């Protein structure tokens, strides 16, 4: 900027802006023209000059426009400006727009001398003494951090004890020493006057007579009693006026007026009066007739959902469908039928870390509604949902009513987090209390025990999250739409990390894209060999760890850093997971099954071993000998449930009955057959390992190894039929993560393949099967004698 420049000028009444100050300036028509003219230029500069009297100002301050907007609660726009340099106003000139333009000469700061530093130190002492008397500790910290004498002097623009005339004189004084001398004089005089005033007030208080003290204390006592409602005849009348003035439904108003009548008839000493007041306050605080308008922009809602979360198309489609139906009903004037609204009730079920909880807030933003989260993990008291009855001391409404009050509207998005972890004991079953809340046919008349009033929840969008669907009571699950989020593929994780996780963790580590780059190959390596999870929570922790190490390296060795596959060992250590299927299946009797746990899909190695001739005294639990005293005995280990134990019995019986078909020597079955499920600390149950146990048994008894690239799942019957199971998508995702190539599933599960991502189906050869014998024939390697003959 040159020493002589042309800028638009804005005259502000009763305001003096000094360099360094950031102040809002109201915008009228003239001020708006000046601001528009300044923003149209490249430098975004404007001259702020004070108009305190009829005198034309000679000085102003060159300021930059920080922001233009509307102050909350006001209609008028304001411009936030930051003062930068003093300027002497010259002659008028012309410029673009309707603003007044002037020529100004910039006033350069005088050099800082030793005398200047001494004056600045003296002024600092005076101003800190004044601020300490006012207990302005934050301002004191800011003043202590200032080292520039000119900047220290110009902070006086915020001083309330200086007049506008004095501030204008400071603006017109270019010499730093002169400004500091003026401030020392003025601030010292004000400090002396303040000390005298405080001393006089202290003397007056100390000299107050006893009767005056008693009068003051009695007045305070009366005020306290009035606030407590004691000896206050108009307390009930106040509640009656509030109820009559409130926007309440008719039935709620009638109930509230009945309670006001009880309050009027009760005495202040009665505990019921306090209960009634608390109940009335709760009712009056609820937003009975307050609702927010739903968004009608379907494309915009989908963009919000896509911007916040990768994938999860089922949930996004359901929300957009909900919005489309709401919009069409509103356009056609179709009212709610029978008092039932069109609120959605969905449960998002899936393993941890896939984005279920964070999706609720995105849904609320897409709908244009308020959002409130209700944590249900570990809740065991039914009163937490329905509220306590008012007869109990400390009674409160339930979490649903409190959530409505917190949201401030009757149609928020309520996220019921961890609904599968709700417990039950002698205090009741909270899951049963949720039946009415989550039933679209009943929740328009939900009745909380504390309120004892009908609350319409029919327009609320309820989203519940769960890790294990089986832990949700069937009656409760029947009232909700089940949306399963089975986990992410490797490509999904790379995309999520690139678009969401890396930028978020870079911001938390105070790094920029110019300073560090993580390649897609590195992200894929982390997803494949450093984490084995359906979600991305551990993935994000590892990225955070790597970026923290990058921040340390950047601080000691500045320069752009690229994190590639070869660098991961330095940042994250060696890979935690390596393919183990080939190693585990090197010996006969080991088969690879697929299972679903609360953490998502996973592989399950089943080991079988025959110990022929073991004494019957060491018979296995759950096993039995044949009627003639011969036959296999079954021993099971691995912390199994009853269903899985029965599946093992079925598998052994089937193999025994078809031993000749599989080429098994009958003598091999005369002894103890031991089936072990590794990871014995983890409880296991379910019938889906039936085909895997049959394959492991045949492999062990024939000496033929199971192919290392094969996985399988399915329930088996006594005649060898393969029955359908659940969690196909999660199991196939686990198979892909663990490097399997061929997966056998029940034929009746073939329709479930429509939900499996295409990239998973491309990586796997999925074979729907009907007979377990066919699975065994294709899963086992050829016998050594057969291969030599071939």
Q: What is the pLDDT of residue 222?
A: 66
* Residues 6 or more apart in contact with residue 413 via CB below 8 angstroms: 360, 363, 364, 367, 369, 370, 371, 372, 460, 461, 463
548 CB-near residues (< 8 Å, 6+ apart): 509
Distance of CA 452 to the CA centre of its chain: 33
**Domains of the chain as residue ranges with CATH:** 4-106 (2.30.130.40), 114-204 (1.20.58.1480), 214-285 (no CATH), 298-484 (3.40.50.300), 490-572 (1.10.8.60), 581-789 (3.30.230.10)
408 labelled binding-site residue: no
Say if residue 355 carries a ligand binding annotation.
Answer: yes
In the Cβ-directed half-sphere of 190, how many Cα atoms lie within 13 Å?
20
User: Which residues have C-beta within 8 Å of that of residue 369, sequence separation ≥ 6?
Assistant: 292, 294, 409, 411, 412, 413, 461
Question: Tens of pLDDT along 414-453?
Answer: 999 888 888 776 777 888 888 888 887 888 888 888 888 8
Q: Report residue 597: phi and psi, to 5°.
A: -120, 180
pTM, whole model, 2 decimals? 0.58
Q: Which residue has the tokens 């008349």?
A: 445
- How far apart, in whole angstroms, are the C-alpha atoms of residue 390 and residue 275? 7
Q: Within 10 A of 342 (CB to CB), how many other CB atoms are there?
A: 15
Is 83 a known ligand-binding residue?
A: no
Torsional class of 617: left (φ above 0), alpha (ψ -120 to 50), beta (otherwise): alpha
The CB density around residue 128, as the number of other CB atoms within 10 Å, is: 15
Is the Cβ–Cβ distance between 367 and 484 less than 8 Å? no
353: annotated binding-site residue?
Answer: yes
- List of residues 6+ apart from 738 with CB closer than 8 A: 532, 579, 581, 603, 711
Residue 71 assigned ligand-binding role: no
pLDDT of the residue at 692: 93
- pLDDT for 230: 60
**Which residue from 541, 510, 282 is spatially nearest to 395, judged by alpha carbons?**
282
Distance CA 696, CA 714 (A): 14
Looking at residue 718, what is its pLDDT? Answer: 92
Rounded to an integer, what distance in angstroms lies between the CA atom of residue 494 and that of residue 172? 61
* Main-chain phi, psi angles of 466, to 5 degrees: -155, 150
352 annotated ligand-binding residue: yes
pLDDT digits (tens, 9 = 90+) for 724-775: 998 888 889 888 888 889 999 999 999 989 888 888 888 899 999 999 999 9
SS3 call for 105: strand
Please give the pLDDT value at position 693: 93
Is residue 1 within 8 Å of 30, Cβ to Cβ?
no
Residues carrying an active site annotation? 688, 731
The rounded percent of the chain whose pLDDT value lies above 70 is 90
Low-confidence ranges of the chain (pLDDT < 70): 1-2, 204-211, 214-215, 218, 222, 225, 229-237, 267-269, 334-343, 425, 578-579, 598, 612-631, 681, 783-790
């Amino acid at each position: 900027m040159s020493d002589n420049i042309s800028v638009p000028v804005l005259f502000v009444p009763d305001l003096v802006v000094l360099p360094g100050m950031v102040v809002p300036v109201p915008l009228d028509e003239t001020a708006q023209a000046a601001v528009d003219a300044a923003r149209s230029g490249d430098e975004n500069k404007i001259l702020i000059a004070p108009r305190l009297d009829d005198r034309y100002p000679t000085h102003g301050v060159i300021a930059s426009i920080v922001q233009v907007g509307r102050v909350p609660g006001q209609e008028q726009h304001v411009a936030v400006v930051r003062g930068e340099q003093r300027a002497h106003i010259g002659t008028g000139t012309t410029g673009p727009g309707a603003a007044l333009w002037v020529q100004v000469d910039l006033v350069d700061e005088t050099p800082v001398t030793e005398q200047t530093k001494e004056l600045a130190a003296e002024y600092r002492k005076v101003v800190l003494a004044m601020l300490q008397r006012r207990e302005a500790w934050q301002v004191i910290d800011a003043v202590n951090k200032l080292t520039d004498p000119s900047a220290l002097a110009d902070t006086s623009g915020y001083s309330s004890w200086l007049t506008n005339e004095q501030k204008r004189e400071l603006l017109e004084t270019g010499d730093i020493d002169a400004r500091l001398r003026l401030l020392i004089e003025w601030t010292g005089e004000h400090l002396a006057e303040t000390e005298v005033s405080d001393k006089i007030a202290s003397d007056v208080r100390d000299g107050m007579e006893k009767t005056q003290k008693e009068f003051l204390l009695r007045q305070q006592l009366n005020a306290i009693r009035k606030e407590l409602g004691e000896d206050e005849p108009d307390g009930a009348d106040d509640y009656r006026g509030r109820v009559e003035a409130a926007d309440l439904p008719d039935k709620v108003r009638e109930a509230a007026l009945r309670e006001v009548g009880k309050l009027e008839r009760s005495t202040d000493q009665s505990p019921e009066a306090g209960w009634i007041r608390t109940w009335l306050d709760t009712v009056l605080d609820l937003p009975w007739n307050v609702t927010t308008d739903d968004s009608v922009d379907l494309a915009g809602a989908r963009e919000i959902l896509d911007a916040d979360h990768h994938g999860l198309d089922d949930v996004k489609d359901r929300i957009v469908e909900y919005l489309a139906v709401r919009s069409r009903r509103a356009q056609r004037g179709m009212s709610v039928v029978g008092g039932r609204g069109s609120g959605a009730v969905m449960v998002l079920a899936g393993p941890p870390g896939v984005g279920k909880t964070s999706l609720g807030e995105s849904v609320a933003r897409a709908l244009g509604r308020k959002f409130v989260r209700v944590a249900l993990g570990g809740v065991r008291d039914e009163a937490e949902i329905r509220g306590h009855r008012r007869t109990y001391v400390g009674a409160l409404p339930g979490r649903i009513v409190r959530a409505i009050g917190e949201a401030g509207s009757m149609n928020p998005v309520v996220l019921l987090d961890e609904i599968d972890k709700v417990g039950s004991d002698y205090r009741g079953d909270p899951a049963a209390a949720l039946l009415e809340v989550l039933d679209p046919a009943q929740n328009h008349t939900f009745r909380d025990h504390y309120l004892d009033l009908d609350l319409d929840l029919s327009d609320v969008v309820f989203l519940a999250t769960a890790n294990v669907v089986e832990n949700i009571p069937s009656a409760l699950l029947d009232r909700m739409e089940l949306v399963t989020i089975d986990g992410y593929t490797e490509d999904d994780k790379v995309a999520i990390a690139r678009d969401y996780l890396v930028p978020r963790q870079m911001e938390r580590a105070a790094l920029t894209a110019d300073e560090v780059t993580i390649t897609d190959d590195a992200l894929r390596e982390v997803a494949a060999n450093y984490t084995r999870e359906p979600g991305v929570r551990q993935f994000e922790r590892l990225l955070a760890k790597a970026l923290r190490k990058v921040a340390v390296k950047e601080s000691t060795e500045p320069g752009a850093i690229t994190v590639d596959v070869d660098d991961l060992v330095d940042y994250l250590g060696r890979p935690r997971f390596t393919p183990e299927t080939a190693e585990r299946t090197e010996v006969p009797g080991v088969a690879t099954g697929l299972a679903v746990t609360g953490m998502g899909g996973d592989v399950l190695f089943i080991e079988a071993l025959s110990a022929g001739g073991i004494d019957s005294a060491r018979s296995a639990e759950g096993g039995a000998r044949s009627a003639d005293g011969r036959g296999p005995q079954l021993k099971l280990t691995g912390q199994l449930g009853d269903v899985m134990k029965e599946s093992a019995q079925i598998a052994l019986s089937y193999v025994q009955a078809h031993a000749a078909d599989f080429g098994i020597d009958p003598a091999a079955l005369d002894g103890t057959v031991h089936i072990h499920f590794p990871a014995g600390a983890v409880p296991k149950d379910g019938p889906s390992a039936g085909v895997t146990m049959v394959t492991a048994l045949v492999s062990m008894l024939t000496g033929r190894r199971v192919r290392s690239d094969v996985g399988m799942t399915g329930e088996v019957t006594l005649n060898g039929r393969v029955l359908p199971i659940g969690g196909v998508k999660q199991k196939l995702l686990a198979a892909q993560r663990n490097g399997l190539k061929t997966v056998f599933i029940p034929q009746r599960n073939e329709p479930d393949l429509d939900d499996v991502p295409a990239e998973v189906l491309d990586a796997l050869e999925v074979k729907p099967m009907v007979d377990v014998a066919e699975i065994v024939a294709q899963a086992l390697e050829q016998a050594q004698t057969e291969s030599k003959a071939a």
